[in-house]
Amino acid sequence: FIDSVVTWSNSGEVNFKLEEKDEAMQELYRRYAKEQSPTEVMDFDGYRIEFPTWWFNVRKSNTEPYLRLVVEAKDDIELAQKLEELSAVIRSFK
C-alpha cells in the first residue's frame, strides 16, 4: 500500500514582502484560473489552483505585508519551473 502513495515535490512556504498583495493575487488568478485550464480552483483563504501535474496555493497574510506561496509538482524540474514562473509574476508587484 505504501508503494502506491505518490510523493510530489513541495516548495514549502515561500514569502514575498509586498504591499500590492491583492493586485498580485488577482493577476495570478487571471493568468492561471482564467487563461489556462486548471482541473480545480478553490477560493478559500486565498487561491488553490490545480493542474494535472502541479498545483499552487497563494494567500495573503492579514497581519504582515506578505504574500505566501506553496507549489507542488510531480517532479523537481517542474517544481523549479513553476516556482520561478509564479515568483516572477509576484515580484512584478511592489
Residue at 63 is within a domain:
yes
Who's near 46: CB < 8 A, 6+ residues apart?
25, 57, 58, 59, 60, 68
Q: Look at the chain and report how many structural domains it folds into.
A: 1
Report whether 7 contacts 83 (CB < 8 A). Answer: no
pTM of the prediction?
Answer: 0.89
Residue at 2 is within a domain:
no
Residue 45's pLDDT is: 87
Residue at 24 is within a domain:
yes
Task: Please tell me the distance from the alpha carbon of residue 26 to that of residue 5, in angstroms, as a whole number.
Answer: 34
Give strand pairing partners of 69.
14, 58
pLDDT digits 0-9 by tens, 41-94: 999 889 999 999 999 999 999 889 999 999 999 999 999 999 999 999 999 999
Q: What is the domain-level CATH number for residue 77?
A: 3.30.310.50
